[in-house]
Structure 1
């Protein structure tokens, strides 16, 4: 038989175990007396304090631990949102030209389609598609430019606009309810696409669109986005392969 003893240091657990023979257990009686235990506890506490002081000073030398507070750190200002964002680099001429050319081509094609559809009283050139062009051509990697976000929000928000007009009729109640429902819909479906939020307002106030009824969910918003998506692919290709 033997007695097992475990020892730990003050910084981290580095326990070690060893066995004492039975004949040595008598020696432990002296060490286990109250006076001896008090002395040993005090000694251990002193060692812990020394080790903590050593480690903290060592950490300060190495910069490994500790918190430094300085009054020189710049705090954000309430006016920062009114300042232009700091760009990592100045955009090249091609980064400006190709998105602008894509927007011109998009509106030109939509305008040509308007001439074809004019006899039927339809139009493809609506204001929300101008905002969609800015999102797709200028920020093609942003979440709002994702195809899922664009089509889910365009179709859903357009249908919500028709529903709001059907329930509340023309007026501010339909606009407010339609816009609120669109924002809730986009958040719930994870399809945030800001230009789509204007579709209910466009339908409620656009007398020429009322005859479309729920076809408005697909035309002209979703149909126009198909054309814009194709042009976006061309713009992205030109930006990546023809830089100047």
Structure 2
């Protein structure tokens, strides 16, 4: 019995010595107090975290709390005007507004010429295009590729949806979802173009155009608006007041 107790004590001392050697090999900042090495093995009690680990835990909690607070602040900022940007000058307001007036005036004159055919160039999507081109010319939605690709593609989708499903909610839902998928896939996101399929499906006067609707009035109107946009951008840059 005494021999068994002696061998057990020798085994435990051997294990403690090995753990002490491994402990000494660790970097100084990761070492535990030497007195806790044998105690943690013999009693099976979990080691208490060091003061450094506690500090890191508190720091992590603080960082997460600060991140949540910042996220909440940014969410509220979306409901406020952009006060960090420079206030627009009078010319920055006047020229885009004048460009929109000129665009609608020219389109209205074209409507008079096309009145016998029962179609109109003054459609709601072109009003949204004016806002994009004249007010935010540097945004992705104002790129010429995005505009023409989206206008023509979404118009074609509207014609196809009407051909397959006729007028109604199914055609509108299918056309709108397909238009969004098309713009994302072609990297040609242009928000006003999403209304073209709905305009065709609900506008009986456009049904006679069939696939000519791809070019008229959306694409043709955008071509005119691009020309006016160039004039508006030139005046904004060179005629300031």
TM-score range relative to shorter protein = 0.7 to 0.9
- Name structure 2 gaps, 5 residues minimum: 1-17, 30-58
| Inter-partner Cα distance in structure 2 for 1:218 and 1:91 | 35
2:70 to 65, 68, 75: 75
> Quick one: structure 1 residues 75 and 158, their matched pair in 2 at CA, closer, same or farther if it must change by over 3 Å?
same
1:88 matches 2:65: no
| Inter-partner Cα distance in structure 2 for 1:76 and 1:68 | 15
1:233 matches 2:227: no
1:186 to 144, 165, 183: 183
Q: Please report how far the alpha carbon of residue 180 of structure 1 lies from its aligned counterpart in structure 2 after TM superposition.
A: 0.5
1:146 to 143, 148, 162: 143
Alignment of 1:47-86 (within 5 A): 49=28, 69=62, 74-77=69-72, 78-86=75-83
Q: Please report how far the alpha carbon of residue 79 of structure 1 lies from its aligned counterpart in structure 2 after TM superposition.
A: 3.4
Alignment of 1:106-145 (within 5 A): 106-145=103-142
| Inter-partner Cα distance in structure 2 for 1:146 and 1:238 | 19
| Inter-partner Cα distance in structure 2 for 1:87 and 1:197 | 31
Of the structure 1 ranges 134-143 and 78-87, higher mean CA displacement relative to structure 2 is found in 78-87
Measured against aligned partners, the alpha-carbon deviations of 1:155-175 in whole angstroms (never above 9, x if no partner) come to 000010000000000000000
* Structure ranking higher in strand proportion: 1
| Inter-partner Cα distance in structure 2 for 1:239 and 1:79 | 32
- Name structure 1 gaps, 5 residues minimum: 1-37, 51-65
Any idea what SS the aligned residue of 1:79 has?
A: helix
Q: Please report how far the alpha carbon of residue 220 of structure 1 lies from its aligned counterpart in structure 2 after TM superposition.
A: 0.2
The corresponding residue for 2:96 is 99
Q: Please report how far the alpha carbon of residue 49 of structure 1 lies from its aligned counterpart in structure 2 after TM superposition.
A: 3.6
Q: Please report how far the alpha carbon of residue 67 of structure 1 lies from its aligned counterpart in structure 2 after TM superposition.
A: 8.8
Q: Please report how far the alpha carbon of residue 120 of structure 1 lies from its aligned counterpart in structure 2 after TM superposition.
A: 1.7
The corresponding residue for 1:215 is 212
Q: Please report how far the alpha carbon of residue 45 of structure 1 lies from its aligned counterpart in structure 2 after TM superposition.
A: 5.5
Q: Please report how far the alpha carbon of residue 69 of structure 1 lies from its aligned counterpart in structure 2 after TM superposition.
A: 4.8
TM-score by length of 1: 0.71
TM-score by length of 2: 0.72
| Inter-partner Cα distance in structure 2 for 1:124 and 1:88 | 36
Q: Please report how far the alpha carbon of residue 68 of structure 1 lies from its aligned counterpart in structure 2 after TM superposition.
A: 11
RMSD: 2.7
Question: Structure 1: which 4+ aligned runs deviate by more than 3 Å?
Answer: 66-74
Any idea what SS the aligned residue of 2:167 has?
A: coil
* Count of aligned pairs between the two proteins: 194
